[in-house]
Structure 1
Amino acid sequence: MLTTHQYEQIGRLIRREVVPATGCTEPAAVALTVAYAAAVLPGTVQTAEVLLSTNMLKNAMGVGIPGTGMFGIPIAIALGIVLAAPEKQLELLDSFSDEELARAKEIVAQEKISVLLKEGSNVDKLYVEVILRDEAGHTACAVLEKTHTGISALSLDGVSCLDLFEVAASPCGCPEEMQAEAEPDIQLSFDLVYEYALTAPLEDIRFIYEAALQNKHASEFSLSHNYGHALGKMLHSDLGLQFFGDTPLTQMLASTSLACDARMDGAPVTVMSNSGSGNQGISSMLPVLTFAQRQGRDEETTTRAVMMSSLLVVYVKQQLGRLSCLCGMVVSGIGTACALTYLLGGTKEQSIGAVKNMIGNVAGMICDGAKPSCSLKASTGVSSALISALLAMEGHAVTANEGIVEEDIDCCIRNLADLGRDGMAETDLKVLKIMTSKGRHG
């Protein structure tokens, strides 16, 4: 049984990991780092040098930037320079004027920006380093690492300026870094996740239901537009209904894909992210919310299901790391499968079986960057989650004799994390090499 202290620790953790984000979180984090440096530079930026880790470069180079009609890193950097508003955190790209956008586009056109790969074996997978110089020769430097808002260094002409800014505040009202120093994050387990989701006071977790509704708003907004590959709209069309029908699965696929379509194509929508990823937030909440509403479940049951899915994602990401070669839709699919089993009336053991089914199915799906086609991968995760849940309800689960699955569920999750974090490291580099060399062959 969870202690009061454990309830408080988990509550702080989930509230810090489920936060609003406008646009893909990787270019948003790049823009945020630039904004910190721009805020302390006294003059007009003449050059901007940005060094990114492999995973940051991969995830930021192909995604739409909200409100710009443009894709990729340079426009995000330019907007960070123009806006220079680090207090907005991951909502930095939420709004800007036509004049500000024009200035940003001019910076891109003037080729003041250079983007480089940060080399070195000790570089965190989530790493951004920014060096801005003005006409008077002043130099502002900023470094972000480990988390999408984790500014670890800020200086002007070699003198630290970090104390000029309050560090990002967690929802409990305490600075994240100060809180982390005072008390390390609780290390989750499947048992902790499951018990918290089912027994936490409803008033303490109701925010996760509101977060899911926020993501539903993004989905509904997308339906009246034509974003990305329009997978969600296709599923709503006569063609989609002809082949998929008006089923719970179709509705889950459509709602999730619509939100991903919009977000990856740069739609001006804010979603609730999970562990630094908007797509993970979307695809761990929306399928669960949609299924629960379709099944007529009450708000409390729905809230607990969404919390189960969301917190399980946080647990897996504790093991895996925020960025890896493993597609985030695998992680969110695991959370969804577990929550769907609960909504179907399944037992804890059946929910564990659903998670094992997911790990035995889509463990190897790679991340090749954030981009419009992420909605296709989201649909794979959602459909696999429902299959995994239904199989578990029928008493079928992948066994310890099969692949990377083990009898103990926490060992299963560790195996998955080891595969994605360490085992696929060389694949990660190969993916980036392919992405950055396209069009150069022959």
Structure 2
Amino acid sequence: MITRPKYQDYINVLKEELIPAMGCTEPIAIAYAGAIAREHLGCLPERVEIEVSGNIIKNVKSVIVPNTGGLRGIEVAAAAGIVAGDAAKELKVISEVSTEAVAVIHKFLESTPITVNFSDSKKIFDIMITVYGNGHSAYVRICEFHTNIVEIREDDKYVLQKDIAVEDSLGFTDRGFMNVQEIIEFADTARIEDVKDILDLQIECNVNISEEGLAGDYGANIGKVLLKTYGTDDVKIRAKAKAAAGSDARMNGCEMPVVINSGSGNQGITASIPVIEYAKELGVSDEKRYRALLVSNLITIHLKSGIGRLSAYCGAVSAGCASGAGIAYLYGGGVDEVSHTIVNSLAITSGIICDGAKASCAAKIATAIDAGILGYHMYKEGT
């Protein structure tokens, strides 16, 4: 039986991880740092210097930054935050940008020197922005995860300084307590009123961007390709296509929010949309759908906790595997079915690398979901 403190830990993990964000989260983190830097400088900068880790470069260079008129890249993300960002909104920092502000962003990029350098800090996730103007400077560093501000300086004066070497300073609940058996027990017994608001927001946001991806013209249109090629009769095709469509939109400048998982909108979409689609197909109750989403979201977090937020490993694989686990739960599966689904799924797709956030992420999502679903059916057939 899950103890009361551990029950609350699971609730806290969900609250920490399932949060709304707009756009690919690494460019948004750069925009967030830029917005904070501009606040502390007190004016529009005359010069900008950026240092980022390799994984940030990988995940920013090829995706469209929302509300920039279709522009891509580190310089664009920083400029958007500096010119038009609202730092109080954190991962929705550039969610409200006027047409006039977009023009200012373009002008800023044309007229302001912005340098980007690779950081040798050895941190997987590291963003450092220094802005200069009116004879002063401001410096902001975000490290380890997307909103973890560890240092702010105004000229040479420290406004904020955190010890990034101390794990507790990151402020997250320790994930070490999680395991598959207890995740299923938590999903079975959680009070729906404790998780309903979190999951309702995930359902609303992620379904909306999925529908937009199918309605609009985004990137490689993987969602549309799947439905056009294979039809709409098979729930497995719909689950893959609708999740891929959400990524199509998100990777290619759609300005709608996504409820993320483990710092990633693609993982949030992948962990939720297939479960939502299967719940609709199977005609299960809202309660059963909520409980299956708890399984898929928490399995994603559990798998990712040992890998890290950014890595050479494709995060969609973990989320696709977890969506298969959530679907197994919808079919009445328990610890045994979910565990075997995870093992089978990862045996299929665990070798997929992350070569950077871009339009092709949608195809990887479809592949990962297919493996998750196949992993469940393999177990049902005795594998």
Does structure 2 retain, via aligned residues, the 8 Å contact 1:40–1:161? no
Cα deviation, 1:140-176, whole Å, max 9, x if unaligned, reads 000001111000111101212239xxxxxxxxxxxx9
Structure 1 residue 111: Cα displacement: 4.9
1:362 matched residue in structure 2: 349
SS in 2 for 1:65: coil
1:224 matched residue in structure 2: 215
1:126 matched residue in structure 2: 125
1:343 matched residue in structure 2: 330
Does structure 1 retain, via aligned residues, the 8 Å contact 2:48–2:112? no
Relative to structure 1, the CA distance from residue 74 to residue 133 in structure 2 (aligned partners, 3 Å threshold; closer, same or farther) is same
Cα deviation, 1:339-361, whole Å, max 9, x if unaligned, reads 11111222321211110001211
1:45 aligns with 2:45: yes
2:271 matched residue in structure 1: 284
Give the alignment of 1:63-212 within 5 angstroms.
Answer: 63-67=63-67, 68-120=69-121, 123-134=122-133, 136-162=134-160, 180=171, 184=174, 187-206=177-196, 207-212=198-203
2:32 matched residue in structure 1: 32
Q: Percent identity?
A: 31
1:353 matched residue in structure 2: 340
**Structure 2 spans left out of the alignment, 5+ residues:** 162-166
Q: CA–CA distance in 2 between the matches of 1:212 and 1:282?
A: 9
SS in 2 for 1:354: helix
Q: CA–CA distance in 2 between the matches of 1:360 and 1:306?
A: 23
Cα deviation, 1:84-119, whole Å, max 9, x if unaligned, reads 421110001212011111111112122521111101
**Structure 1 spans left out of the alignment, 5+ residues:** 164-175, 397-442
1:413 matched residue in structure 2: none
SS in 2 for 1:64: coil
Does structure 1 retain, via aligned residues, the 8 Å contact 2:52–2:127? yes
Q: When the two structures are superposed, what TM-score results if normalisation uses the length of structure 1?
A: 0.82
CA RMSD of aligned residues (A): 1.8
Identify the range of structure 1 (215-224 vs 299-308) with the bigger mean alpha-carbon deviation: 215-224
1:14 matched residue in structure 2: 14
Does structure 2 retain, via aligned residues, the 8 Å contact 1:312–1:335? yes
Give the alignment of 1:320-339 within 5 angstroms.
Answer: 320-339=307-326
SS in 1 for 2:140: strand
Q: When the two structures are superposed, what TM-score results if normalisation uses the length of structure 2?
A: 0.94
Does structure 1 retain, via aligned residues, the 8 Å contact 2:201–2:259? no
Structure 1 residue 42: Cα displacement: 2.6
- Kindly tell me the number of residue pairs found equivalent between the two proteins: 376
SS in 1 for 2:94: helix
Structure 1 residue 250: Cα displacement: 1.2
Q: CA–CA distance in 1 between the matches of 2:92 and 2:207?
A: 18
Relative to structure 1, the CA distance from residue 356 to residue 177 in structure 2 (aligned partners, 3 Å threshold; closer, same or farther) is closer
Letter in 1 for 2:353: I
